[in-house]
């Protein structure tokens, strides 16, 4: 039974559509539902793609006893679904319908699939004493509002041609990444591995446009973006920086793996057949996101590594940190104009 009046309902919609931050949006969604439907626990699960299976992580939880528990650390499973039972889990991942399961002791769990862009990205699980259809219809309605708002945020944050994150989103994300790196460093090195910023530049792209036309040039950009999606992990952030230049933020990756992953991408691009064009190559420069204070410094360092790759034959991956250690880049370049910000 509904626990709120029409004014509160309207205010809930206003609150839900007032944020562009994904975690804040998820938190607002379940706190809103807690206020308007009868439930003793509501949990927002995200799907994380691992190497050979899907992990289900509870990122936000709310119940009648405790306030919102954000960023829940432990891995969780959907009710009555064991991760190792791939067939059952996969049926959830392909089912867009609401599922109702009896709980082990009493009550029911109502599982609402969270529809992301082109795929199910998680589950909203409502634990309640009994199935009240009006409550679940209300929850389903708010899930649709959530999805529609998510699409608007997605359209604003993504490049219209490739579908990758755009320059505006990159500017916001690199600042967050730097702040997080400084915060972790000041607390202690309690993260497993650092993040890396890589700039990817398609070699001789202007010649492609001049010779074949912009239509084929755009197709190269689209296929290039697809290779990026196929090569990098879901947790990595992929951007179209502008023109034929792309950026990847490799998240929490060992130093020896950063070069391996980027080299694998370079080879994949080199072996890709682009219609009418044939083969295309890419030059890559990257740097560890560590002690820098300004986004411009990180970008400049990766750009120096990219310039070195371009000047020394193209179609290769260069590390700023390695080039600096070997004396190929002057030490002054490392933190030029990098004033204290954090």
Active site residues: 244
CA torsion angle 189 48 158 305 (round to 10): 40
- Cα–Cα distance, 53 to 287 (Å, whole number): 30
Cβ(128)–Cβ(38) below 8 Å:
yes
**Residue 273: helix, strand or coil by DSSP?**
coil
DSSP calls for 46-72: EEEE-SSSEEEEEEEEEESSS--EES-
Residue 261 token pair: 């992953």
Reduced to 3 DSSP states, what percent helix, strand and coil does the chain have, rounded to the nearest 5?
A: 45, 25, 35
The span from the CA of 235 to the CA of 251, in Å, is: 7
Q: Which of 238, 234, 261 is nearest to 317 (CA)?
A: 261
- Cα–Cα distance measured from residue 123 to residue 58, given in angstroms and rounded to the nearest whole number: 9
């Amino acid at each position: 039974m509904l626990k709120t009046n029409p004014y509160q309902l309207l205010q809930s919609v206003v609150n839900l559509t007032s944020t562009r931050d994904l975690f804040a949006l998820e938190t607002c969604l379940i706190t809103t539902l807690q206020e308007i439907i009868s439930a003793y626990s509501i949990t927002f699960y995200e799907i994380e793609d691992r190497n050979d299976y899907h992990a289900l992580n509870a990122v936000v939880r709310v119940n009648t006893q405790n306030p919102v528990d954000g960023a829940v650390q432990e891995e969780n499973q959907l009710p009555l679904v064991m991760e190792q039972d791939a067939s059952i889990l996969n049926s959830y991942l392909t089912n867009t319908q609401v599922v109702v399961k009896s709980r082990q002791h009493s009550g029911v769990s109502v599982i609402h699939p969270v529809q992301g862009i082109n795929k199910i990205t998680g589950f909203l699980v409502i634990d309640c004493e009994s199935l009240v259809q009006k409550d679940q219809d209300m929850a389903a309605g708010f899930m649709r509002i959530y999805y529609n708002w998510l699409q608007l945020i997605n359209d604003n944050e993504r490049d219209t041609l490739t579908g990758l994150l755009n320059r505006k989103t990159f500017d916001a994300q690199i600042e967050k990444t730097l702040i997080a790196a400084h915060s972790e460093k000041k607390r202690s090195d309690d993260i497993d591995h650092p993040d890396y910023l890589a700039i990817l530049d398609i070699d001789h792209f202007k010649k492609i446009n001049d010779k074949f036309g912009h239509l084929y040039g755009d197709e190269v950009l689209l296929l290039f973006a697809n290779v990026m999606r196929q090569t990098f992990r879901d947790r990595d952030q992929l951007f179209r920086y502008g023109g034929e230049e792309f950026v990847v933020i490799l998240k929490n990756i060992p130093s020896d793996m950063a070069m391996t992953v980027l080299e694998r991408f370079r080879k994949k691009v080199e072996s890709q057949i682009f219609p009418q064009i044939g083969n295309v190559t890419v030059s890559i420069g990257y740097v560890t996101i560590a002690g820098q204070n300004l986004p411009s410094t990180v970008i400049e360092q990766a750009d120096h590594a990219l310039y070195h790759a371009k000047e020394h034959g193209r179609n290769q991956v260069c590390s700023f940190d390695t080039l600096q250690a070997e004396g190929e880049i002057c030490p002054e370049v490392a933190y030029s104009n990098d004033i204290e910000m954090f």
